[in-house]
Structure 1
Amino acid sequence: MTSIDTVTLEVANPEAARDFYATAFGLDEQLTFRTSAEPSTGFRGFTLSLTVPQPADVRALVDSALAAGATAIKPVTKSMWGYGGVVQAPDGTIWKIATSAKKDTGPATREINAIVLLLGVSDVVASKRFYVDRGFTVAKSFARSYVEFANGASPVKLALYRRRALAKDAGVPPEGTGSHRIAVSGATRPFTDPDGFAWETAEVAATP
């Protein structure tokens, strides 16, 4: 089974990005960074999500992200699905912090249950087939709208969502041009998927 080893964010200042994510979310092993000046405007076609145990953890992580320099896109609020908010990191990456719980059971712990990389794709069925052909195992699939793959021992799950729906969920316009500013690595040969997302072997994605 193929899965994600690391997610590499391509940023203007890797050291600043590393400090932001360690401070805001306590992420210091799940992400790597490398310098990039590739043009990128508007929606980059992906989001990263943090799933947490309860609303108190959503508030704590969003507050720490904003204090560290993130910008609020969607304020923390309750919905029919749970509780969550969306922020944009200083490097431009969009993060959704959410829980399916609607009530707190204790004080905030800042615990993260799961990290999900959501790729916005033009054709969910075709992209699902593409990834299955490269060794990924489907864990959840909802018709033509959403696919989630098994992540094994990886701390990061991979999921596919229609691009326009993903942008709407994130609270941003769907238009965007230029680089995705992200690379994904795993136990696989390098490839680029139908929507231009680049995958590398794990050894390639080292921080410069």
Structure 2
Amino acid sequence: MTSIASVTLEVADPTAADRFYTTALGLGSRVRLRASAAPTTGFRGFTLSITVSQPANVDSFIDAAIEAGATSLKPASKSLWGYGGVVEAPDGTIWKVATSSKKDTGPATREIDDLVLLLGVEDVKASKQFYVEQGLTVGKSFGGKYVEFAADGSSPVKLALYKRRGLAKDVGVPADGTGSHRIVLGSTAGPFTDPDGFAWEAASLTPTSS
């Protein structure tokens, strides 16, 4: 089975970005950074989501991110599915922090349950077929709306597909955007480029730390 081996964000200032992701979000080696000046405007077509166990943890991550320079796109609040909020990191990457729980069960922690990469695509069914042909295994699928791929324990993130406009609406930004996605994905089956222009490179799995 093909696995996601790495996620690399392309940023203008890797040193500053590393400080933000290490201090504010505690991501450790889950996300890599690479210098880039590639032109990009508007929505970059993807989001990264941190899932945690309780609302207090959501608030802890979001408060730390904003204190470290992130911009609030959606303040943390309750919804039908749980509790969460959205911020834009100083490098322009959009992050959602959420939990399915609506009540705290203890003091806030900085523990990350899962890291999920959502790619906003024009045609979910076509992109799903493309990724299946690259060797990824579908874990969950809801027609032409959402697809989640199975991941083994060594992958730093879970990969999912969502309609681009729906994803932009979910995080509170316009769907329009041009230029570089500013993200490169590493795969045990790479290199390749998907139908929406997301680039994958060949990479091997390495242990991750939170």
TM-score normalised to the size of structure 1? 0.96
3-state DSSP of counterpart to 1:58: helix
Match of 2:112 in 1: 112
Match of 1:165 in 2: 166
Segments of 4+ moved more than 3 angstroms? none
Give me the whole-angstrom Cα distance separating, in 2, the residues matched to 1:135 and 1:168: 30
- Whether contact under 8 Å (2:190, 2:203) holds in the other structure is no
Give me the whole-angstrom Cα distance separating, in 1, the residues matched to 2:190 and 2:104: 44
What one-letter code is carried by the residue in structure 2 that aligns with 1:119?
L
3-state DSSP of counterpart to 1:44: coil
Give me the whole-angstrom Cα distance separating, in 1, the residues matched to 2:174 and 2:141: 25
Give me the whole-angstrom Cα distance separating, in 2, the residues matched to 1:189 and 1:59: 37
- Whether contact under 8 Å (2:43, 2:177) holds in the other structure is yes
What one-letter code is carried by the residue in structure 1 that aligns with 2:105?
T
Match of 1:180 in 2: 181
3-state DSSP of counterpart to 1:47: strand
- TM-superposed deviation, 1:182: 0.3
Is 1:13 the equivalent of 2:13?
yes
- TM-superposed deviation, 1:28: 1.6
Give me the whole-angstrom Cα distance separating, in 2, the residues matched to 1:186 and 1:19: 26
Identity %: 68
TM-score normalised to the size of structure 2? 0.95
Give me the whole-angstrom Cα distance separating, in 1, the residues matched to 2:97 and 2:144: 24
3-state DSSP of counterpart to 2:50: strand
Aligned pairs, number: 203
Q: Deviations over 1:131-185 (max 9, x none)?
A: 0001000000011100000111212000000000000001100000000000000
- Whether contact under 8 Å (1:18, 1:28) holds in the other structure is no
Match of 2:30 in 1: 30
Q: Deviations over 1:105-135 (max 9, x none)?
A: 0011111110000000000000000000010
3-state DSSP of counterpart to 1:2: coil
- TM-superposed deviation, 1:39: 0.6
Q: Which runs of 5+ in 2 are unaligned?
A: 205-210
Match of 1:206 in 2: none
Give me the whole-angstrom Cα distance separating, in 2, the residues matched to 1:171 and 1:51: 18
- TM-superposed deviation, 1:188: 1.2
What one-letter code is carried by the residue in structure 2 that aligns with 1:28?
G
3-state DSSP of counterpart to 2:60: helix
- Whether contact under 8 Å (1:5, 1:187) holds in the other structure is yes
Q: Which runs of 5+ in 1 are unaligned?
A: 204-208
3-state DSSP of counterpart to 1:26: coil
Match of 1:145 in 2: 145
What one-letter code is carried by the residue in structure 1 that aligns with 2:168?
A
- Whether contact under 8 Å (2:51, 2:114) holds in the other structure is yes
Alignment of 1:41-190 (within 5 A): 41-153=41-153, 154-190=155-191
Match of 2:207 in 1: none
Compute the RMSD of aligned alpha carbons: 0.7
